[in-house]
């Protein structure tokens, strides 16, 4: 579905978890610091064929194993809004490149929130597409088929051009599909929300949102109501989503990958992945795997039931401000004055990775420290156009495209 007129001559970046021909691709790991692929992944190849210019690779934690962007290979990537804080991860480098104006957009991955987390902290858009909408063949582990190609940018209409350029089936990815509808970039800004319905689930996945963050999101929902969107609120979580299922699947898939690496490469892995080599809890038996698969199917069924009644499922993208950037520091988060484990910051996002639905983080305001706050939306299967339309609607009352942390 290449759209050469849209991307012709435009620079972009690629997360260093995606293969690029002739350009070092390290996956953020010292173990692969000399890895130079002989071909591009399909998504990058399609961008180049449409005339886009690959400016370079962006930082990621080792094998996307963390939700902060730091590694022994590339050091610490910092949040441009507050340098003591992390931009999140694992697509932190891509989002920092976009918000600081290095490029207008970047191509990344999202296996559990990796694109949407740093998009929220940086104050830009991060959209994970429906599983299989864009081929994703080169990542050496498919994260239990949780991972999708994603895109980060400032302007909502850019999402249309990027999606139309990269989407469509390819033989190298058996999950990719031929029946993909293009996004009509000429209409998304003018489409009305009056016929749309949304359900706001503030405690989805059992994570509690900081009151200040929650107030920013609720104000955005009031503005959307003023634009005609019908919004209901669920005080309890009707998805009954257990984030532990998706985090366990991701960890086990990653553990399986690194255990298959040659010994001379394993010796150069960082501490997180060294732990995966040795932890017995990541040696799941067949019964446990099947149990998780059954739970995954149940989550999908419940989310699909909700999306048969609603066009969007809303939550806050993150529950609190970002943790500190330095990996040697305390990287807990603070929610309503209480310290919480970093898992309470983001794991609710992984529901759409588990089910394959498209999802997006949209900037919707700032907290008292002028840090960006994101509104998260899950859409129906192959309903990326609805998510782009929603982003355009939010931009009518909160224009984040003019915000720059370097000013």
Catalytic residue among 82, 114, 350, 352: 114
Is 15 one of the catalytic residues? yes
Alpha-carbon distances, residue 317 vs 139, 233, 345, 367 (angstroms): 25, 16, 9, 14
Q: For residues 386 and 392, what is the distance between their CA atoms, to the nearest angstrom?
A: 10
Catalytic residue among 71, 86, 90, 176: 90
Is 186 one of the catalytic residues? no
Scan for tokens 């698969």, then name that residue.
Answer: 293
Catalytic residue among 15, 57, 128, 344: 15
Is 5 one of the catalytic residues? no
Instruction: Tell me the catalytic residues.
Output: 15, 90, 114
């Amino acid at each position: 579905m290449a759209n050469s007129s849209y991307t012709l001559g435009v620079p972009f970046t690629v997360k260093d978890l995606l293969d690029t021909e002739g350009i070092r691709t390290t996956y953020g790991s010292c173990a692969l610091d000399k890895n130079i692929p002989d071909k591009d992944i399909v998504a990058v190849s399609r961008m180049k064929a449409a005339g886009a210019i690959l400016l370079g690779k962006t930082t990621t934690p080792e094998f996307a194993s963390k939700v902060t962007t730091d590694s022994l290979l590339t050091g610490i990537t910092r949040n441009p809004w507050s340098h003591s804080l992390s931009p999140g991860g694992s697509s932190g480098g891509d989002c920092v490149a976009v918000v600081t104006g290095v490029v207008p957009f970047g191509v990344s991955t999202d296996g559990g929130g990796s694109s949407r987390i740093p998009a929220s902290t940086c104050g830009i858009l991060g959209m994970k597409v429906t599983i299989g909408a864009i081929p994703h063949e080169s990542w050496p582990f498919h994260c239990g088929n949780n991972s999708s190609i994603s895109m980060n940018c400032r302007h909502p209409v850019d999402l249309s051009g990027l999606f139309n350029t990269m989407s469509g089936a390819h033989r190298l990815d058996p999950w990719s599909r031929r029946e993909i509808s293009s996004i009509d970039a000429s209409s998304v800004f003018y489409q009305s929300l009056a016929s749309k319905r949304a359900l706001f689930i503030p405690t989805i996945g059992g994570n509690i949102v900081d009151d200040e963050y929650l107030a920013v999101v609720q104000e955005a929902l009031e503005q959307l109501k003023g634009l005609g969107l019908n919004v209901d609120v669920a005080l309890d979580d009707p998805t009954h989503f257990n984030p532990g299922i998706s985090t366990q699947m991701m960890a086990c898939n990653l553990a399986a990958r690194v255990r298959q690496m040659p010994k001379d490469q394993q010796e150069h892995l960082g501490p997180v992945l060294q732990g995966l080599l040795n932890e017995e809890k990541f040696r799941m038996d067949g019964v446990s795997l099947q149990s998780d698969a059954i739970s995954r199917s149940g989550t999908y069924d419940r989310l699909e039931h909700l999306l048969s009644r609603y066009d969007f499922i809303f939550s806050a993208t993150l529950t609190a401000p970002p943790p500190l950037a330095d990996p040697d520091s305390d990287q807990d988060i603070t929610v309503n004055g209480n310290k919480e484990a970093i898992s309470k910051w983001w794991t609710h996002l992984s529901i759409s990775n588990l089910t394959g639905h498209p999802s997006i983080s949209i900037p919707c305001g700032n907290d008292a420290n002028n840090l960006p706050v994101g509104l998260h939306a899950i859409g129906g299967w192959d309903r990326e156009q609805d998510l782009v339309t929603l982003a355009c609607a939010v931009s009518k009352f909160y224009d984040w495209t003019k915000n720059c942390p370097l000013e």
